[in-house]
Each structure stands twice: as C-alpha cells, then as structure tokens.
Amino acid sequence: MAKYTCETCQKVFSQKGHLKDHNNRKHPCKKDNTIEELVEKKVQDALSKTNEGAVKIDSTSINIMMSNQMDYSKKSREELIAICKEKGIKGYSGQVKEYIVKLLTDANNTGVVKNDIVIETTTKSNTQKLNMIDLFAGTGAFTIAFKLTNNVNVVFANDMVEHSKKIYDENFDHKLTLKNLNEVKVEDIPSHDILTGGFPCQPFSIAGLQEGFKDERSNVFWKILSIIDNHHPKCVILENVKNLLSHDEHKTFATIKENLENRGYYISYKVLNTAEITGIPQHRERIYIVCLKSKKIFDKLSLDFPKIEKKPVSHFLESSVPDKYYYTDKSSTWELITANVVKKDTIYQYRRVYVRENKSSECPTLTANMGGGGHNVPIILDDKGIRKLTPRECFNFQGFPSSYILPNLSDTNLYKLAGNAVSVPVVKLIANRIIPLLQED
C-alpha cells in the first residue's frame, strides 16, 4: 500500500487525498526548526572563531539529517516528482522512476536538499557531463542506461521507425529525430563525446539472409563512419548479433574493425549473454564493440563481467493478464500447443510447426517477429491456461524498468520494439565502467 508523507511535519497518510486535505488546512502544520537553529548557531560560532571567516572541514564534513533517509524506491513516479518539486530538484521531467530515485538520492548525498539539513563544506569536483548520441535508438535502451549514470546528456537520438519515435518520446524529454540516418546531415548532429548504436542486425543475423554489406540496411555503417569523421567522439559503442563475428568467413567484422582502427580507435569487443551477467533469465547473446580514442582508457577497460545467479522466470511475469493472450480450443494450434506445453515456470517457443521447451529456466531470445505470423512466439502455462508472453513481460525480460511507458500501439508493434531492443542492464554494466574512465581522462 502506498504511503504519503508530509514533507513539513513528516506525518504519514494512507491516502493521497488525506495528505492533500492536511496540506490545505486553514492552519497548516509547522516545521520544527529546533535542529536547524542549533546547527546554524554552531556554524555561526565556528565562523566567528576563524580569522578568515571560513570554516574548513576536511573528510569529517558535518552531515546532520533531520529525518531518516527516505526509501524513495517504494514511492510511485508521481510521488517522486512531487518530492523533486518540493525540494527544488530539477531534471526529473520525462525520466523513468529509477532515474528520479537516483536523482533524489544523489541530491541527499551531495547536500542539495531543502528539508534535510546537510552541511558539507568539503569541495567536490563538479565534473562536466558527457554528451552522447543514440543512433537507431528504438526504445532508448542506451539512453536509459547512460542517463542512469547521472553523468551523461543525450543530445541527439535517431530512428526511422514511427512507433520507435512514439515510444521514445513518451519516455524522454528530448525528442527523437524520425529520419533515415543516411538522410541526416552530419553537421546537423550535435557535438558529442559518446556515440552509441545498435545498428541493424538483419543483414548479419542467422535468422535473416545474412547478406551483410550487400543489404542496404547495413550501409548505415558507412554513415556512422562519416559521423565519426566529422565529430571525433571519444568513445563509440556498437551492438549487434553475435553472428557478426563469423559472417562471411569473418570478413565483415574485419572490415568494421579495420575502418574503426584506421580512425585512431582502440577496439575492445565481446559477446555478452544477458542471462549470464544480469540476473535476467533471457538467453540473448550480442556482440558489444567498444571503441576508444584513449589508449590509457582502453588498457583499463574490461568487458569481462562476473556471472550471477538468474532470477526465476516467474519474477518477470504479470499477475493479471487479459484473456486475449490465452490460447483456446478455437485456436488452429490448440492441439499442438496443449500436447507440448505442460510445465509451469517454463517458457516454450512456438515455431510454426513445432513447440520447443527451454530447459535452461530462461526465456528464449526475443525477436522482432515474435508478434506476428506465429513465428518464435514465447508461450507459458499459468494457473489460467496457456498464453503468449505479454508485451510488458517482453520488456521486463529486456530489463526495462516497470515505470517505462508502453504507449498505445498495437501488440505487434510492441513485440517488434521489444525484440529489436538492446538489453538495458547489459548496457548499464558497460556504462558504469566506462563513464568514470572517460571523466578521469
């Protein structure tokens, strides 16, 4: 049950309306300033004893909190926004819940809080944020992960698919540029330190025709190079299917690597599996290519991440699912599905002519075509019957936060967006390693 706290007197209410009535009383509650006055007196006494009128406090900075640290993670996004407004904290507009939680937590830790007294007289370096562009942005997985570091400004995002723009604009302040990247002038793209992009994988995918650079969709790689030539970003991060490594007898990847190295980048790459390093049970192997201008950063960066225990599949499922996602005896595939889908907490995959059980307690790799044509459809057995995964559950298996907004789009388009997305927690692991190194350089 949600709790609503008065920011002045800290009184807790079980209903939002009660808090509103409390705040609108004829004689509003008063803040107890006893601790503030005591702290102010101590600071003034200290000031009066120094010749230069300044208090010098080193690692033993004074941190006095009027109340216990609030657990922001238990509050709704709307409540968090209200707290930001009350505390005068900016930057929350259009952000997902997890980002706003981090914003409030960081504000508490750095003393930028009105109602909690935090005196911190040691000087902290105010490192300038890095600028980033998100190409082929889709759902904005790169944007989410890098913004969560609180040290990155996304200055440009691009995609050519209309429903990508709709979902991106619904979740972020800055608007996505809807245009074929090949038609975007490089000089119209803002200056940036980081370039990210999950460039089209179909030309290299095992599931596709594997036409590689013969496929017009892969031509955008040359556009990426022209953007690099014009803006010279410190860091380039690209994501694609693992088959990119072996495509055309390794010639495709060799071409990509050579062209990036010729532009002065040191290249680090690795195939990472979401299920192994994030705790999210989706088998999703993707190659991540990190390109760095600095040899010093390259030598420090590692793409080796420890394997961690997977959470159960049930952790990512919705508790209440509409009837439309369930198979019935009227379904053309009813006999095939009921004969094969027999275990709970197990995800199966319907592949047109047969059903395959995932025996690794994982969700099979989510694909863009799982929502139409009866191909690669992930299905489960629950207490109510046999059903497809919902679009929200697919986004859950991609690591998107529960506060991420799914706009009014068809299920087919939402499944496609989820299947084409980059795994948020994988990118977050990379971002958390690389951003501190870029800021040190």
Decide if 155 contacts 93 (C-beta within 8 A). Answer: no
End-to-end CA distance of the chain: 46
State residue 40's pLDDT score: 58
Burial of 359 (0-12, 13-18, 19+ CB in 10 A): exposed
- Residue type at 40 in one-letter notation: E
Task: State the helix-helix crossing angle for 220-231 and 251-261, rounded to 10 degrees.
Answer: 10
State residue 140's pLDDT score: 97
User: Taking the CB of residue 21, how many other CB atoms lie within 10 A of it?
Assistant: 11
Q: What CATH code is assigned to 313-420? A: 3.90.120.10
State which H helix or E strand residue 156 sits in: strand 152-159
What is the three-class DSSP state of 378? strand
Q: How far is Cα 396 from Cα 147, in angstroms, rounded to an integer? A: 19
Decide if 40 contacts 58 (C-beta within 8 A). Answer: no
β-pairing verdict for 235-241 and 194-197: parallel
- Domain positions in the chain are 32-110, 130-310+423-440, 313-420
Question: Could you list the pLDDT tens digit for every one of the 441 residues in the chain?
Answer: 566 677 666 677 676 777 777 777 766 665 555 555 555 555 556 555 444 433 333 333 333 333 335 678 878 887 888 887 777 676 676 677 777 887 777 666 543 333 332 323 333 334 789 999 999 999 999 999 999 999 999 999 999 999 999 999 999 999 999 999 999 999 999 999 999 998 874 444 444 444 545 544 447 888 999 999 999 999 999 999 998 998 888 888 998 999 999 999 999 999 999 999 999 999 999 999 999 999 999 999 999 999 999 999 999 999 999 999 999 999 888 999 999 999 998 999 988 788 999 999 999 999 988 866 557 889 999 999 999 999 999 999 999 999 999 999 999 999 999 999 999 999 999 999 999 999 987
Q: How far is Cα 218 from Cα 216, in angstroms, rounded to an integer? A: 5
What fold is seen in the domain 130-310+423-440? Rossmann fold (3.40.50)
Q: How far is Cα 428 from Cα 430, in angstroms, rounded to an integer? A: 5
β-pairing verdict for 194-197 and 130-135: parallel
Of residues 392, 368, 364, the one with CA closest to residue 378: 364
Of residues 240, 244, 262, 265, the one with CA closest to residue 253: 244
Decide if 435 contacts 297 (C-beta within 8 A). Answer: no
Residue range 346-361, pLDDT digits in tens: 999 988 788 999 999 9
Q: Which residues have a Cβ under 8 Å from the Cβ of 347 and sit 6 or more positions away?
A: 313, 358, 362, 363, 364, 378, 379, 380, 389
In degrees, rounded to 5, the angle at the alpha carbon of residue 260 between the alpha carbons of residues 241 and 132 is 75
Q: How far is Cα 60 from Cα 64, in angstroms, rounded to an integer? A: 12
In degrees, rounded to 5, the angle at the alpha carbon of residue 271 between the alpha carbons of residues 267 and 272 is 120
Q: Which residues have a Cβ under 8 Å from the Cβ of 355 and sit 6 or more positions away?
A: 336, 337, 340, 341, 348, 349, 379
Respond yes or no: is residue 201 known to be catalytic: yes
Q: How far is Cα 47 from Cα 259, in angstroms, rounded to an integer? A: 61
State which H helix or E strand residue 16 sits in: helix 16-23
* Active-site residue (options: 201, 235, 291, 394): 201
**Within a 13 Å sphere around the CA of 183, how many CA atoms are in the beta-carbon half?**
7
